Chains A and B, each alone.
Chain A
């Protein structure tokens, strides 16, 4: 094929031939025998492309963009005959330096490309960087040659998902994982059979955009333990996967390794949702490092005070200016890129309320970014899930601008379920609402807008929730001042690890209670990594800085707590067997099909008499299978969070079939949860529900199948 005329070089410098480039797409892209570099700045006076060989301490050439190479604020250049595999690039920008006007140009700094698809410099996790390197986070090229073998995003209906929130490194870093590449994407891939056995069908990955684990690193004053940015909620490069999470990151092959893992997850019916952090960057406040955005277009990318300092709605020093057109377009481009190039199935937005603030920080009634994402053609089948609050005090659970598309982490569900389980008074009425998918919050969106969870990375693990009354964050080196104090936890009679069998039995039961309520609630459940085997963080409810056994999943617990794993596996399977638990619209509270019972009815110890008084600690409900959106069995759930056993009179099933026990959390394994057809029939009209226990019954209301 003839070389296109616009791919001939017109300029030369230091042996490097180049010509004017294409302004779009932004970033570095392969064109003909060259690389097209395109970068934007609204306020710079000039820009210089800086090229390195991989890992080289000094650039091999610096080429200032001639004036004729700039269109508007975009600098574009094609450089020919580069060795793509051995190339790193960055930019120097010149312009005013007047922080009070938001200008912080400094052409002594080499800056990463905001659209860099791969970043070098932190290729191996926890390998201490060369702090004297003049270019810490090095933009590299990516090669679009991955063989997806026909893979595409799964587009599972969101109400059918069971999320598993996990940290890529923490999942397999522990020696007990026995994988060949601990702490990596490849390690996660090796553990797919475990996820499949558990029954989850969506992994929600804590941040995997390139971040710097060394950011704000320090030694614990007492122990000398190295504390790192382990969670990674501090983005260096939005388009680049975390190299340190790849066993092949040292070869620069993190893109291939991650895509291979995603492809394999999809093959096993497991979706991939990314926890994305667009509320701030790793550049911190005015004292932070100059990595990219600050030195390229400070006013465009960041929310600035009238004095030129950084608004801090993220609690991390700066706030991305999400509703500035430039930042907004970058966010949209980025998400489109991940959806299209990595086949990502959805995104969970960290501190998403920031995405609804204007450039001065005020909440917008119709935020352009959130609206654009809701209606974006590339993202139209992606799950969009908001953490609907921020560190600036905006709390939008139930009121997040959703455009009929956005789902939310339901923090109110978490809080009320925790209080109910620990035996607080005055929450039964709210529980009835939360179990239905929180119609008070999402009446116009449906129950699938509610991501239900009891625990997540931020806070206690489920084991710790039932083992500690107070946080124990001394290992974080902040005098136990960090982390939330509103944990709604209860230690079951002893603070911390216990050798008392009664305490431990109660804790196990409480964990099963939480799992049962979570899986039997309308909405979309999310499990925290390791909760299914009783993972503990020793009472630490803010383990963001621990790249150690506080955070890692100890796989030996799968054996120690095999009964717990079995319970989770079965209760997840129970949910997935019963469409009545996965409705995509709220209950009608009436007998739509004339089968003798409303789609949902609430009960107390007497049928149809729920006790919503302040002193109540029990509630029962029945789902009428024939009135479900898909025909199902009848399901009766009796929850007794009182410290004594209680008799529950049963409502009659909608058919002649008897009630049969499916779950009884007061019983030891394996009588705590049964396979279909294994539980015994209930031959009376009353059951005894043990102290702080849940009993679930089913009755076959389907013509030829069901829980026989």
Chain B
């Protein structure tokens, strides 16, 4: 299933809405979009993954890439499906992001 990424930004917040699957073939697109979103050094990155059905290790590594490129970045993972949450927990990535079911207040940053 292809991956569609819609990007937007508002204030100090960047937002990517992912639809489809992040797998070995589409992870590069995901990373490119994250890279692009970080060029303006936002304080917050919101990943709306409600319509994302699968995220491979390559996709999860993009989250690490974002955190390591900009350590002060707060990442919200919005409405992930249970298998994605499960993988985030087991690999420990869960602790490095905010998983949320509600739209984050993008005016706040992770303490």
Contact between B87 and A248 (Cβ–Cβ < 8 Å)? yes
Interface string of A233-271 (1 = CB under 8 A from B): 000000000000011100111001101100110000000
Given A85-B24, A248-B90, A251-B87, verify A145-B60 contact (CB < 8 Å). no
Contact between A257 and B91 (Cβ–Cβ < 8 Å)? yes
Contact between A145 and B92 (Cβ–Cβ < 8 Å)? no
Given A54-B24, A145-B64, A248-B87, verify A263-B92 contact (CB < 8 Å). yes
Interface string of B28-66 (1 = CB under 8 A from A): 100000000000000000000000000011101100110
B58 CB contacts on chain A under 8 angstroms: 85-86
The yes or no answer to B68 lying at the interface (CB within 8 A) is yes
Question: Which one, B56, B68, B86, contacts A147 given CB within 8 A?
Answer: B68
Contact between B24 and A86 (Cβ–Cβ < 8 Å)? yes
Give the shortest distance, in Å, between A352 (CB) and chain B (any CB): 33
Given A83-B24, A86-B24, verify A147-B96 contact (CB < 8 Å). yes
Give the shortest distance, in Å, between A185 (CB) and chain B (any CB): 8
Interface string of A170-196 (1 = CB under 8 A from B): 000000000011001010000000000
The yes or no answer to A143 lying at the interface (CB within 8 A) is yes
Task: Give A173 to B92 CA distance when docked, in angstroms.
Answer: 20
Question: Which one, A86, A181, A251, A259, contacts B92 given CB within 8 A?
Answer: A259
Task: Give A42 to B2 CA distance when docked, in angstroms.
Answer: 48
Given A145-B64, A180-B86, A247-B90, verify A253-B24 contact (CB < 8 Å). no
Given A54-B24, A147-B96, A257-B91, verify A252-B57 contact (CB < 8 Å). yes
Contact between A85 and B92 (Cβ–Cβ < 8 Å)? no
Interface centre among B27, B89, B91, B96 (most CB of A within 10 A): B91
Contact between A251 and B57 (Cβ–Cβ < 8 Å)? yes
A259 CB contacts on chain B under 8 angstroms: 92
Task: Give A264 to B95 CA distance when docked, in angstroms.
Answer: 11
Give the shortest distance, in Å, between A146 (CB) and chain B (any CB): 8
Per the 8 Å Cβ criterion, residues 67-99 of B in contact with A are: 67-68, 86-87, 89-93, 96
A257 CB contacts on chain B under 8 angstroms: 90-92
Interface size class on chain B is 20 to 34
Give the shortest distance, in Å, between A410 (CB) and chain B (any CB): 36
A86 CB contacts on chain B under 8 angstroms: 24-25, 58
B27 CB contacts on chain A under 8 angstroms: 85
Task: Give A251 to B28 CA distance when docked, in angstroms.
Answer: 17
Contact between B68 and A145 (Cβ–Cβ < 8 Å)? yes
A181 CB contacts on chain B under 8 angstroms: 90
Per the 8 Å Cβ criterion, residues 48-73 of A in contact with B are: 54
Give the shortest distance, in Å, between B23 (CB) and chain A (any CB): 9
B58 nearest in chain A by CB position:
A85
Task: Give A147 to B93 CA distance when docked, in angstroms.
Answer: 9
A85 CB contacts on chain B under 8 angstroms: 24, 27, 56-58, 61
A143 CB contacts on chain B under 8 angstroms: 61
A186 CB contacts on chain B under 8 angstroms: 89-90
Give the shortest distance, in Å, between A690 (CB) and chain B (any CB): 49
Give the shortest distance, in Å, between A343 (CB) and chain B (any CB): 13
- How many A residues, CB 8 Å from partner? 24
B24 nearest in chain A by CB position:
A86
A252 CB contacts on chain B under 8 angstroms: 57
A143 nearest in chain B by CB position:
B61
Contact between A145 and B91 (Cβ–Cβ < 8 Å)? no
Task: Give A620 to B13 CA distance when docked, in angstroms.
Answer: 71
Given A85-B58, A145-B68, A147-B64, verify A253-B96 contact (CB < 8 Å). no
Give the shortest distance, in Å, between B67 (CB) and chain A (any CB): 7
Task: Give A251 to B60 CA distance when docked, in angstroms.
Answer: 10
Interface centre among A83, A85, A145, A252 (most CB of B within 10 A): A85
Task: Give A86 to B90 CA distance when docked, in angstroms.
Answer: 21
Task: Give A85 to B23 CA distance when docked, in angstroms.
Answer: 9
B65 nearest in chain A by CB position:
A145
Task: Give A260 to B88 CA distance when docked, in angstroms.
Answer: 11
Task: Give A74 to B27 CA distance when docked, in angstroms.
Answer: 34
A246 CB contacts on chain B under 8 angstroms: 90
Give the shortest distance, in Å, between B74 (CB) and chain A (any CB): 15
Task: Give A257 to B87 CA distance when docked, in angstroms.
Answer: 9
A147 CB contacts on chain B under 8 angstroms: 64, 67-68, 96
Task: Give A513 to B92 CA distance when docked, in angstroms.
Answer: 41
Per the 8 Å Cβ criterion, residues 89-111 of B in contact with A are: 89-93, 96
A181 nearest in chain B by CB position:
B90
Task: Give A184 to B25 CA distance when docked, in angstroms.
Answer: 28
B61 CB contacts on chain A under 8 angstroms: 85, 143, 145
Given A145-B64, A248-B87, verify A256-B56 contact (CB < 8 Å). no
B56 CB contacts on chain A under 8 angstroms: 85, 251
A247 CB contacts on chain B under 8 angstroms: 90
Per the 8 Å Cβ criterion, residues 75-120 of A in contact with B are: 83, 85-86
Give the shortest distance, in Å, between A680 (CB) and chain B (any CB): 47
Interface string of A142-179 (1 = CB under 8 A from B): 01011100000000000000000000000000000000
A84 nearest in chain B by CB position:
B58
Given A83-B24, A85-B58, A147-B96, verify A248-B91 contact (CB < 8 Å). yes
Give the shortest distance, in Å, between A71 (CB) and chain B (any CB): 33
Task: Give A264 to B90 CA distance when docked, in angstroms.
Answer: 12
Give the shortest distance, in Å, between A244 (CB) and chain B (any CB): 14
Task: Give A249 to B96 CA distance when docked, in angstroms.
Answer: 20
Give the shortest distance, in Å, between B86 (CB) and chain A (any CB): 7
Task: Give A180 to B90 CA distance when docked, in angstroms.
Answer: 9
Interface centre among A146, A180, A256 (most CB of B within 10 A): A256
Contact between B91 and A253 (Cβ–Cβ < 8 Å)? yes
A147 nearest in chain B by CB position:
B96
A256 nearest in chain B by CB position:
B91
Given A54-B24, A147-B96, verify A253-B89 contact (CB < 8 Å). no
Contact between A253 and B57 (Cβ–Cβ < 8 Å)? yes
A146 CB contacts on chain B under 8 angstroms: 64
A248 CB contacts on chain B under 8 angstroms: 57, 87, 90-91
B67 CB contacts on chain A under 8 angstroms: 147
Task: Give A263 to B93 CA distance when docked, in angstroms.
Answer: 12
Task: Give A263 to B92 CA distance when docked, in angstroms.
Answer: 9
Give the shortest distance, in Å, between A396 (CB) and chain B (any CB): 40
Task: Give A248 to B57 CA distance when docked, in angstroms.
Answer: 9
A-B contact pairs, 6 of them (CB 8 A): A83-B24, A147-B67, A180-B86, A248-B87, A253-B90, A260-B91
Counting from the closest, the 6 A-B pairs by CB-CB distance are A260-B92, A85-B58, A186-B90, A256-B91, A86-B24, A251-B57
Chain B residues with a Cβ under 8 A of chain A = 24-25, 27-28, 56-58, 60-61, 64-65, 67-68, 86-87, 89-93, 96
Known pairs A184-B90, A186-B90 / 5 extra A-B pairs, C-beta < 8 Å: A85-B57, A86-B24, A86-B58, A147-B96, A260-B90
